[in-house]
Chain A
Amino acid sequence: NAGVTQTPKFQVLKTGQSMTLQCAQDMNHNSMYWYRQDPGMGLRLIYYSASEGTTDKGEVPNGYNVSRLNKREFSLRLESAAPSQTSVYFCASSEEGGTEAFFGQGTRLTVV
C-alpha cells in the first residue's frame, strides 16, 4: 500500500519557469491538500480539495494553481516560479471527516 506518492522528490527551477508537482493517493480518500513548509513557519495550506471536482484556496494560494484530476490525483502548478516559492511541498489526503491526514514524503523545490 503506497499511501500518498509525490513526484518529483527534488527540483531546481529558474525564475519564471513553470512546473507541476504531482500527487496521488491510493486510499480512496475524498480530501486532498497541498502544504508548503518553511523554516519557523510550520506548514501552510496552499489549496485543498474536499472532493473530486472541487478545490478551495488555503492560506497562501497566490502563485499556485491546482487540479483535482480525479479522486486519486491532485496536482499543484507553479506557472512562473519565483525564489519566494523555494520550499518543501507536502501533499496529504484524508477521509472526509476523518481523524488522520496521510502525508507524502515531500518535494524539495529550489527556485534560483
Chain B
Amino acid sequence: GEDVEQSLFLSVREGDSSVINCTYTDSSSTYLYWYKQEPGAGLQLLTYIFSNMDMKQDQRLTVLLNKKDKHLSLRIADTQTGDSAIYFCAESLNYGGATNKLIFGTGTLLAVQP
C-alpha cells in the first residue's frame, strides 16, 4: 500500500541539530525525497536519495535510508531560524508503465527557537 508517515511537529533551538523522521510502506519506491515548504509558498525539493543508497550528505543536510525498516530521516546540522518550515517526506512509485507518482507524508513543522 501507499502510506508515508511523519510526526507533525519538531521544536529545536538555533544551532542544534534537527532530525525529522519518516516511515513508508511501499518497498517498490525508486526515489525518496525531502521537500521544504515555507509559509504561503509551494514545495521546493531539498534533497533526494535513490532507493539503493544508505546515506546522502549535502552541506548541512544528511539523509539516512533504512530500507529494511522502511525508515527515512533528514538531519539538519546547525539549524537556523531560516530553516523553520514544513518538511515533507515523499516516495516515488512507478506503476505499470505510468510515470512516477509522488506520494507525500503529512509534513513535519520544524520550529527553530532563537
Binding site for B on A (CB under 8 A): 4, 30-31, 33, 35, 40-45, 48, 50-51, 56, 58-59, 90, 92, 94, 96-101, 103-106
Contacts and interface: CB of A to CB of B under 8 A. Distances in A.
B104 A43 contact: yes
B26 to A, nearest CB: 13
Contacts of B33: 99-100
Contacts of B103: 45, 59
Contact of B42 (A50, A97, A100, A104): A104
Nearest 5 CB-CB pairings of A with B: A103-B42, A43-B104, A42-B106, A50-B99, A31-B99
A105 B100 contact: no
Given A40-B8, A42-B107, A90 B43 contact: yes
B24 interface: no
Interface residues of B, number: 25
Question: Which residue among A44, A92, A97 has the maximum number of chain B CB atoms within 10 Å of its CB?
Answer: A97
B48 A99 contact: yes
Contact of B43 (A96, A97, A98, A103): A103
Contacts of A92: 43, 102
Nearest to A98: B100
Nearest to A42: B106
Contacts of B92: 99
Nearest to A104: B42
A97 B100 CA distance: 6
A42 B41 contact: no
